[in-house]
A and B are shown apart, each in its own frame.
Chain A
Amino acid sequence: MISGAAAVDRVFREEFGRAVALIARVLGDVALAEDAVQDAYVAALRTWPERGVPDNPRAWIVAVARNRAIDRLRREQALELRTRELARRAEEDMSVFDEHLDDDSIPDERLRLVFTCCHPALAVEAQVALTLRLVAGLTVPEIARALLAAEAAVAQRLVRAKHKLRVAGIPFGVPADDQLVERLDAVLAVVYLVFNEGYVATSGDDLRRDDVAAEGIRLGRLMVTLMPDEPEVAGLLGLMLLHHARRDARTDADGDVVLLASQDRSLWHRDEIEDGLALAERALRTAGSPGRYALQAAIAAQHCRAASEEETDWRAIAALYLVLAQVAPSPMVELSRAVAVSMERGPAAGLALTDRLVDDGALGHTHLLAAARADMLGRLGRTTEAAAAYREAIDRAENGAEQRLLERKLTALTSH
């Protein structure tokens, strides 16, 4: 039996979102629900280490948070008529949990919470912070570390977001069918953003931060639990798992980047790849016309199935990128397609596809376009141009591990 503050933290991280969602469902007030569950956390810190974790911690948290919510409302009653009605509802609607304190009697309202946190009326940074706090149950310092932001800034962002939730009247609920696809896109974008923050850290010296990526995957798993029939939800989780499964092979002992071509594929986590492949197939099979995550998962699946770089089916990958470019056109997709084409049909064909990207300048601020062109120019034997492109890429790269990789390639190129 685990005990102590660590046990409290572990249980609350798992149960936080469900408890907040349930209480917010009854009270229609997410900020109040969060405060009440936080009160329950403080109460647990006081009592659990002494008396042990309750047999049914989920029910305990909900019951305590419910009572604290009612206390808080009573204190506000003098101020507002509205709170009197809410306090009455909290007592009546939630009294069921006093009698049936088993797991099944507690409905899972987290889907409403997810859609509320990812409402497009909130700035994306606010959506991410709210989702990590309320759905994933991360603390403010944990969120600050995950987003590489100052704690005070994250706290301020959360306060503002909750203020807007309340004052602007952002509903606590799942959107109607005609808005669902669009709103689900926003939710999935937030989940993928969290994952990517760990998969390729945008700044700092380490390429990857596995704990942050794991939070993205945890949110992805939750979404699959809550919306098992949505192909894009399965596609996103599949995509994340297929990327994450390669983590130990992506950097060497010094934390330097190891590209897919030279990765030790025996380091890939096979069990996660199997899960990812199954999800990718499910996403492609159920979709009428596949969405962006299903397609990206299918591309990642091609890489994971291949025993080596040479055995990779580049023709299939190039074709999938072509479909993806129609579903979700972006300069990044065009660049990826150019790289796949360069592997299928040779560097000249790939380079030609990147010319248009150079002209329209959309990727000019990143190192990715210059790095890809440098590689293709090098393969074509145009060494001087390749070296210039590598230098441009090094200038633009912000991640230390990626800079070191580009420098190694530049050295290899000029030493021939």
Chain B
Amino acid sequence: MILIYTDPAARSAAMPEEQGEALMREYIAYGDSLREAGVYIDAAPLEGVDTATTVRVRDGQRLISDGPYAETREVLGGYYVIDCDSLDAALDHAARCPGARFGSVEVRPVMAMPART
């Protein structure tokens, strides 16, 4: 799983509109390249953290709060799920992700679960 973390403030403030559209096209091309490589499973961009809501259940009580639980500068902006044979192959794909240039991209293996019968 490729998790893309970026700083939303830096991106929206510093980026003119045409640059934003160029980035969008880059992401579309990136997704296409993953499909062509036969590794693509799923992907989605996320709305900003200002639309996030955190839920915790403590002592059976639902606690709902505005925003992410922890304030950090870089936030999860979207993800790709790809199927690769090795970490090196996954890292090669991750390095081509547009977000890697101005944010950081985290690669995490999806945990193998026993098949349910």
Which of A's residues lie within 8 Å of B, judged by CB? 120-123, 126, 160, 163-164, 167-168, 182
Contacts and interface: CB of A to CB of B under 8 A. Distances in A.
25 contacts: A120-B64, A120-B65, A120-B66, A121-B53, A121-B64, A121-B65, A121-B66, A122-B66, A123-B65, A123-B66, A123-B67, A126-B66, A160-B50, A163-B50, A163-B51, A164-B50, A164-B51, A164-B66, A167-B47, A167-B51, A168-B47, A168-B51, A168-B52, A168-B53, A182-B62
Contacts of A126: 66
A125 to B, nearest CB: 9
Nearest to A183: B64
B66 to A, nearest CB: 4
Nearest to A120: B64
B104 to A, nearest CB: 25
Contacts of A182: 62
Nearest to B66: A123
A182 B66 CA distance: 16
A160 B64 CA distance: 18
A130 to B, nearest CB: 12
A121 B55 CA distance: 9
Nearest to A122: B66
Contacts of A123: 65-67
A122 B67 CA distance: 8
Nearest to B63: A120
Nearest to A186: B64
Interface in B77-100: none
A353 to B, nearest CB: 27
Nearest to A121: B53
Nearest to B55: A121
A126 B66 CA distance: 10
Nearest to B61: A182
B42 to A, nearest CB: 21
A369 B62 CA distance: 32
Contacts of B51: 163-164, 167-168
Nearest to B50: A160
Given A121-B53, A121-B64, A168-B52, 5 more contacts: A123-B65, A123-B67, A160-B50, A167-B51, A168-B53
Interface in B41-80: 47, 50-53, 62, 64-67
Contacts of A121: 53, 64-66
For the complex of A and B, list the 3 residue pairs with the smallest distance between their C-beta atoms, beginning with the closest.
A121-B53, A123-B66, A120-B64
Contacts of A167: 47, 51
A126 B51 CA distance: 13
A122 B50 CA distance: 10
Contacts of A163: 50-51
Contacts of B47: 167-168
A328 to B, nearest CB: 14
A120 B65 CA distance: 6
A123 B64 CA distance: 10
A167 B53 CA distance: 11
A121 B62 CA distance: 12
Nearest to B53: A121
B45 to A, nearest CB: 13
Tell which of A121, A160, A163, A167 has the most Cβ of chain B within 10 Å.
A121
A120 B61 CA distance: 13
A123 to B, nearest CB: 4
A167 B48 CA distance: 9
Interface string B25-53: 00000000000000000000001001111
Nearest to B62: A182
Contacts of A164: 50-51, 66
B55 to A, nearest CB: 9
B28 to A, nearest CB: 20
Interface string B4-27: 000000000000000000000000
B12 to A, nearest CB: 13
Contacts of B52: 168
A185 to B, nearest CB: 12
Contacts of B65: 120-121, 123
Contacts of A160: 50
A315 B66 CA distance: 42
A102 B62 CA distance: 43
A72 to B, nearest CB: 22
A120 B54 CA distance: 10
Nearest to B47: A167
Nearest to B65: A120
